[in-house]
């Protein structure tokens, strides 16, 4: 009657693994190349809240896979570390004066304790933290490479500015006009920034997606983010000026329908084009737009606004005068910040034209009256002189040739991707290793002075004026130019949090190397990452940035692969149950009672509520803390339940009742091994078959990351073993081996109880005998006109004729076919017979 002593067992084996360095990995050259695998988790930001249930989901998946691969003779690199620069620790420092490193260190210790309590088979000797000077030494060194290659430049451009975080943000960090981190409305601000030329890699970042084994959704998101579009640049001569106005268009074939032009309020030609008569109106409009947030400007529902500049451009194809308007529905950040408007065939232009009474000319044969609505479908060209009668493709080609011939345009490509705003006006990040010299300009800190460490400061608060707290440390800022020795100043901006995560997967390979960022031999040994598991939240941010850095390193000959992560799997989110009233508002879990199975009411009011799944949140009281479950039921239960819940990639709700099922399963296994008679005896045929089928199913499902079905097969096997009076030892040995990647602690204990030496993780994965998996007799389903009517037993692989013969003699079948004409008989070997009758 011993209760499964998970607590004792888990502590014991965790200690054993740590002491014996069971999972230390070395670059063993005798292991052939195809037997080396790099299995990587997205490393966590060590927040004060500790691990949530989402972390162990992906981590358990990669741990199972790593353990499985090792048992199959692979050399597996499976490391863990911390993405340790970040705003929460810094904000906490501002509030309390505690150094961010102190907070971060404490949190990392807590995370490490939690990760170890889950029994993950990481090689802890390779642990890294991005805030460690030994680590960011090489982050700075890589930045220098980018700088030397001309991929980092300084510019003062309007950028996204978070007034709460008091720092600039990359485009990728702005979600629906708000700061991704704190939710504050983002403003535009003109400040000096370091920018990385990620756009120089746009095409390769796009093309190489095709070579990756990634979820289609993530690839699509990256493609959309890069946003390549092919079209034409068209130059419009200006009336009364020598300048030309360049626009970008994907539909240069509609040029005959261009009835006005629009330039963005920030366009450099605005003041030049504004006439005396229009000056007051234009200035007022510019003032109005300036005060609008990005969100207001880009709100689709809002009315179009704009103002006439007073000037005209000349349509190159027909010499018509076209009025130039200024309007904020044209964005300065895309294309040239100027468009030709074709109101007949574009909803936005149509809306604008209607509002301001501009002419609308149909140039594509439309099914509607373009005066009453825009026609945005394809159509044959009309009112377009020498394009009339042509389709879209031909017309575009003809127009581009015409434009090129007349030197007023050419084929052009555009991207939505912007260069990466890379500097942050904050303290807790890698200092940019740059020095501003009045004579030599901006020069890099020499290699031998790296790492350039963060100085101590007394105040962590950003200045808010666009400078980091580092400006307040004169002894750090004031330095000598490494080139000419003159008095110079250090760059005071720091790198964004993404910098450290751009290359951490490389440092794991050679984490202690003092001389270089990575040993090329070791890099070749492990790269690329064979499996990378993490959440979708990094679909464009981290995964785009690190691909970019990796490609730069590749071009410099510093890494051997074009892409860092060959295979990517996104784990689904673990949600929780919540309760919803009729008016769709959610009720906290502790305010709900279950009155009968599946029926819930709000305790206070008695109103019926329905069970729905929702994100875990403090206010709904439905947050699950993995620590509680590890303490009360053990890490093995937590690991196995998270894998049993459903497919890894799906989002699914935590159900504590379901968790208990897994705990009971492990308890049952424990009772079998400690209470039943175990004998070294032959297996009977049926049991042997089930065992072989189980090995097969668990092997295949583990290989393909279908952990939930692998576990259900183990349950089937255990249910069968549980029925036996005496259990053959062999079955339990196999069970322990199959369970060991999933629930390593109990498996180690079982292995020891069965009289074997530790560690089970060093054992060979069991194999199955395909012959033994086959049934001698199979059930053949008999369908009449596609409906299930009878079942018969037949030997495996019985001849078609024999099967039909047996079916014809089957009593039930006879009843259904009597007096009818058999039209057709379909036989699926070992499966079914379908008889079509009339």
Partner RNA sequence: GCGAGAGUGGUGGAAUUGGUAUACACGCUAGUCUUAGGAACUAGUGCUUCGGCUUAAGGGUUCGAGUCCCUUCUCUCGCACCA
Minimal distance, residue 224 CB to RNA, in Å = 6
**Residue numbers 186-205 binding RNA by CB under 7 A:** none
Listed in sequence order, the residues at least 6 apart from 736 whose beta carbon sits closer than 8 Å to its beta carbon are 747, 750, 751, 754, 760
Cα 335 versus chain centre, distance: 28
Which residue, 80 or 206, is less far from RNA as judged by CB?
Answer: 206
7 is a contact residue toward RNA (CB under 7 A): no
Do 491 and 431 touch, CB atoms closer than 8 A?
Answer: yes
- Which residue among 18, 632, 799, 805 contacts RNA (CB under 7 A)? 632
Asked if 455 interacts with RNA (CB under 7 A), we say no
Q: Check binding of 401 to RNA (CB under 7 A).
A: no
Helix, strand, coil share of the chain (percent; to 5): 40, 20, 40
* Binding of residue 656 to RNA (CB under 7 A): yes
Stretch that binds RNA, among 159-167, 517-525, 544-552, 708-716 (CB under 7 A): 708-716
Site for RNA in 409-438 (CB under 7 A): 414, 416
Residue among 85, 126, 84 at smallest CA distance from 108: 84
- Taking the C-alpha atoms of residue 114 and residue 578, their distance in angstroms, rounded to an integer, is 27
Q: Which stretch binds RNA (CB under 7 A): 193-201, 383-391, 449-457, 647-655?
A: 647-655
Three-class SS state of 153: strand
Binder of RNA out of 278, 536, 580, 625 (CB under 7 A): 536
Nearer to RNA, 152 or 640 (CB): 640
Site residues (CB under 7 A) for RNA, limited to 334-393: 334-335, 337, 339-340, 346, 348
Q: Closer CB to RNA, residue 754 or residue 836? A: 836
**Are the C-beta atoms of residues 244 and 410 closer than 8 Å to each other?**
no
> Binding to RNA by residue 783, rule CB under 7 A?
yes
Window 156 to 185, contacts with RNA (CB under 7 A)? 175-176
Beta-strand ranges (E) seen in 546-587 are 568-570, 574-580, 586-587
Which residues 490-519 are close enough to bind RNA by CB under 7 A?
none
Candidates 47, 566, 674, 706; binder of RNA (CB under 7 A) is 706
Per CB under 7 A, the list member of 329, 498, 504, 545 interacting with RNA is 329
Please say whether the beta carbons of 129 and 122 come within 8 A: no
Residue from 775, 118, 208 nearest 546 by CA: 208
Q: H helices then E strands: how many in the chain?
A: 27, 33
557: contact with RNA by CB under 7 A: no
Q: How far apart are CA 258 and CA 252, in angstroms?
A: 10
Q: Which of 328, 523, 733, 810 binds RNA (CB under 7 A)?
A: 328
791 binds RNA (CB under 7 A): yes
Which of 788, 793, 802, 822 binds RNA (CB under 7 A)? It is 788
Report the Cα–Cα distance between both ends of the chain, in Å, rounded: 64
Selected from 50, 163, 646, 758, the binder of RNA by CB under 7 A is: 646
- In terms of CB distance, is 3 or 618 closer to RNA? 3
Contact between residue 236 and residue 230 where contact means Cβ atoms under 8 Å apart: no
HEC string of 640-685? HHHHHCCCCCCCEEECHHHHHHHHHHHHHHHHHHHHCEEECCCCCH
CB atoms within 10 A of CB 830: 16
Enumerate residues 58-97 that contact RNA by CB under 7 A: none
- Establish if 217 lies at the interface with RNA (CB under 7 A): yes
Among 379, 397, 708, 758, binds RNA (CB under 7 A): 708
**Contact range with RNA by CB under 7 A, out of 33-41, 354-362, 424-432, 665-673:** 665-673
Task: Give whichever of 300 and 821 is closer to RNA, judged by the CB atom.
Answer: 300
Secondary structure element (H or E) that encloses residue 261, with its range: strand 260-263
Residue 18 is a binding residue for RNA (CB under 7 A): no
Instruction: Give yes or no for a contact between 170 and 180, defined as CB atoms under 8 angstroms apart.
Output: no
Minimal CA–CA distance to 495: which of 170, 202, 180, 155? Answer: 170
Taking CB under 7 A as the rule, does residue 785 contact RNA? yes
Closer residue to RNA, CB minimum distance, 502 or 640: 640
Residue 470: partners with Cβ closer than 8 Å, 6 or more residues away? 427, 431, 454, 455, 457, 476, 477, 490, 492, 494
- In the bound state with RNA, the residue whose beta carbon lies nearer, of 13 and 644, is 644
418 backbone dihedrals φ, ψ, rounded to 5°:
-105, 165
- Of the candidate spans 23-31, 500-508, 754-762, 785-793, the one that interacts with RNA by CB under 7 A turns out to be 785-793
Quick one: which of 582, 771, 787, 838 contacts RNA (CB under 7 A)? Answer: 787
Asked whether the beta carbons of 720 and 734 are under 8 A apart, the reply is no
Nearer to RNA, 557 or 786 (CB): 786
Selected binder of RNA within 7, 47, 250, 278 (CB under 7 A): 250
Q: Is 231 in the site for RNA (CB under 7 A)?
A: yes
Residue 667 as a binder of RNA (CB under 7 A): the answer is yes
Q: Which one of the spans 14-22, 57-65, 202-210, 535-543 is the region binding RNA (CB under 7 A)?
A: 535-543
For 814, the 3-state DSSP assignment is helix
Phi (first) and psi of residue 312, to 5 degrees: -130, 150
CA–CA separation, 4 vs 667, rounded Å? 6
Euclidean distance between CA atoms 431 and 341, whole angstroms: 46
Instruction: Kindly provide the residue ranges of all beta strands, DSSP E only, lying in 34-74, ordered along the sequence.
Output: 36-41
d(CA 358, CA 374): 14
Q: Are 184 and 163 in contact (CB under 8 A)?
A: yes
Q: Which stretch binds RNA (CB under 7 A): 160-168, 355-363, 498-506, 718-726?
A: 718-726
Identify residues 580-609 at the interface with RNA (CB under 7 A): 597-598
Find the part of the chain contacting RNA (CB under 7 A) among 463-471, 638-646, 733-741, 796-804. 638-646
Choose between 112 and 708: whose C-beta lies nearer to RNA. 708
**What residues pair up with 324 in beta bridges, in sequence order?**
261
- Piece of the chain touching RNA by CB under 7 A; list 112-120, 307-315, 325-333, 757-765: 325-333
Question: In this structure, are strands 726-728 and 777-784 parallel, antiparallel, or unpaired?
Answer: unpaired
Residue closer to RNA (CB basis): 524 or 812: 812
Tell me which of 209, 221, 623, 773 binds RNA, using CB under 7 A.
Answer: 221
**Nearest distance from C-beta of residue 348 to RNA, angstroms:** 4
Query: How far apart are CB 275 and RNA at their closest, in Å?
Result: 23
Size of the site for RNA (CB under 7 A): 89
Nearer to RNA, 231 or 511 (CB): 231
> In sequence order, which residues have a C-beta less than 8 Å from that of residue 82 and are 6 or more positions away?
43, 44, 45, 46, 104, 108, 111, 127, 128, 129, 130
To RNA, the closest distance from the beta carbon of 117 in angstroms equals 19
Dist. CA 327–CA 546, nearest whole Å: 37
Q: Does 249 bind RNA (CB under 7 A)?
A: yes
Give the residue, chosen from 124, 504, 644, 670, that forms a contact with RNA under the rule CB under 7 A.
644
Least gap, CB of 256 to RNA (angstroms): 14
Q: Answer whether 191's CB lies under 8 Å from 174's CB.
A: no
Which residues, 253 to 272, sit near RNA by CB under 7 A? Answer: 264
Shortest Cβ 656–RNA spacing (Å): 5
Q: According to CB under 7 A, which one of 661, 753, 808, 812 is a site residue for RNA?
A: 661
Nearer to RNA, 357 or 597 (CB): 597
């Amino acid at each position: 009657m011993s209760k499964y002593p998970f607590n004792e067992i888990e502590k014991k084996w965790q200690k054993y693994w740590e002491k014996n360095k069971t999972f230390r990995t070395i670059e063993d050259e005798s292991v052939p190349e195809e037997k080396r695998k790099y299995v990587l988790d997205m490393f966590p930001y060590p927040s004060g809240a500790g691990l949530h249930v989402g972390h162990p989901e992906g981590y358990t998946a990669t741990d199972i896979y790593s353990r499985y691969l090792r048992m199959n003779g692979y050399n597996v690199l499976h490391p863990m570390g911390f993405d340790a620069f970040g705003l929460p620790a810094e904000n906490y420092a501002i509030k309390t004066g505690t150094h961010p490193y102190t907070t971060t260190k404490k949190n990392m210790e807590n995370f490490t304790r939690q990760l170890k309590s889950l029994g993950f088979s990481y090689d802890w000797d390779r642990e890294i933290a991005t805030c460690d000077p030994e680590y960011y030494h090489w982050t700075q060194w890589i930045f220098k490479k980018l700088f030397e290659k001309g991929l980092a430049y300084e510019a003062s451009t309007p950028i996204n500015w978070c007034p709460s975080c008091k720092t600039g943000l990359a485009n990728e960090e702005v979600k629906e006009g708000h700061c991704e981190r704190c939710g504050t409305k983002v403003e535009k601000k003109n400040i000096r920034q370091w920018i990385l030329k990620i756009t120089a890699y746009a095409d390769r970042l796009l093309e190489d997606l095709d070579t990756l084994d990634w979820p289609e959704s993530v690839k699509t998101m990256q493609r959309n983010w890069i946003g390549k579009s092919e079209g034409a640049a068209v130059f419009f001569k200006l009336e009364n000026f020598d300048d030309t106005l360049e626009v970008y268009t994907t539909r240069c074939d509609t040029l005959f329908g261009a009835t006005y032009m629009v330039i963005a309020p920030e366009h450099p030609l605005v003041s030049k084009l504004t006439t005396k008569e229009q000056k007051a109106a234009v200035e007022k409009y510019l003032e109005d737009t300036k005060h609008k947030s990005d969100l207001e400007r880009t709100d689709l529902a809002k009315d179009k606004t704009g103002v006439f500049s007073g000037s005209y451009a000349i349509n190159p194809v027909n010499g018509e005068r076209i009025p130039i308007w200024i309007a904020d529905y044209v964005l300065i950040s895309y294309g040239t910040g100027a468009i030709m408007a074709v109101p007949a065939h574009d909803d936005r232009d149509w809306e604008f034209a209607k509002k301001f009474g501009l002419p609308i000319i149909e140039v594509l044969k439309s099914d509607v009256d373009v005066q009453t609505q825009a026609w945005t479908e394809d159509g044959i060209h009309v009112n377009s002189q020498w394009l009339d009668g042509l389709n879209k493709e031909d017309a575009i080609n003809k127009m581009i040739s015409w434009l090129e011939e007349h030197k007023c345009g050419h084929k052009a490509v555009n991207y939505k991707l912007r260069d990466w705003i890379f500097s942050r006006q904050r303290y807790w990040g890698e200092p940019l290793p740059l020095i501003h010299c009045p004579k030599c300009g901006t020069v890099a800190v020499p290699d031998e002075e790296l790492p350039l460490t963060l100085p101590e400061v007394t105040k962590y608060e950003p200045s808010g004026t666009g400078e980091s707290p580092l400006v307040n440390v004169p002894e750090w800022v004031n330095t000598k130019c490494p080139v000419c020795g003159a008095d110079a100043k250090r760059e005071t901006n720091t790198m964004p949090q993404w910098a450290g995560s751009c290359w951490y997967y490389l440092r794991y390979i050679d984490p202690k190397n003092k001389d270089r960022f990575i040993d090329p031999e070791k890099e070749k040994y492990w790269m690329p990452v064979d499996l990378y598991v993490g959440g979708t939240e990094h679909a464009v941010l981290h995964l785009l940035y690190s691909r970019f850095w990796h490609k730069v390193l590749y071009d410099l000959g510093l890494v051997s692969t074009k892409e860092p992560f060959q295979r990517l799997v996104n784990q689904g989110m673990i949600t929780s149950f919540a309760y919803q009233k009729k008016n769709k508002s959610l009720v906290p879990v502790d305010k709900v009672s279950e009155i009968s199975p599946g029926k819930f009411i709000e305790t206070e009011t008695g109103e019926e509520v329905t069970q729905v799944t929702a994100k875990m949140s403090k206010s709904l009281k439905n947050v699950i803390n993995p620590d509680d479950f590890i303490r009360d039921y053990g890490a093995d239960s937590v690991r196995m339940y998270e894998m049993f819940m459903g497919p890894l990639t799906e989002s699914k709700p935590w159900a504590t009742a379901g968790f208990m099922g897994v705990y009971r399963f492990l308890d049952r296994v424990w009772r079998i091994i400690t209470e039943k008679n175990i004998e070294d005896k032959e297996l009977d045929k049926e049991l042997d078959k089930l065992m072989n089928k189980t090995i097969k199913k668990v092997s295949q499902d583990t290989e393909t990351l279908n952990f939930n079905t692998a576990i259900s097969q183990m349950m089937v096997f255990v249910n069968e073993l549980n029925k036996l009076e005496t259990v053959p030892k062999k079955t339990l040995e196999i069970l322990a081996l199959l369970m060991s990647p999933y629930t390593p602690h109990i498996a180690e204990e079982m292995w020891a109880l069965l009289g074997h030496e530790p560690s089970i993780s060093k054992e060979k994965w069991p194999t199955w005998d395909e012959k033994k998996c086959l049934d001698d007799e199979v059930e053949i389903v008999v369908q009449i006109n596609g409906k299930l009517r009878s079942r018969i037993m037949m030997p495996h692989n019985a001849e078609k004729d024999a099967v039909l013969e047996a079916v014809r003699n089957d009593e039930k079948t006879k009843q259904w076919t009597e007096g009818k004409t058999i039209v057709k008989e379909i036989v699926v070997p070992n499966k079914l017979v379908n008889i079509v009758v009339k």
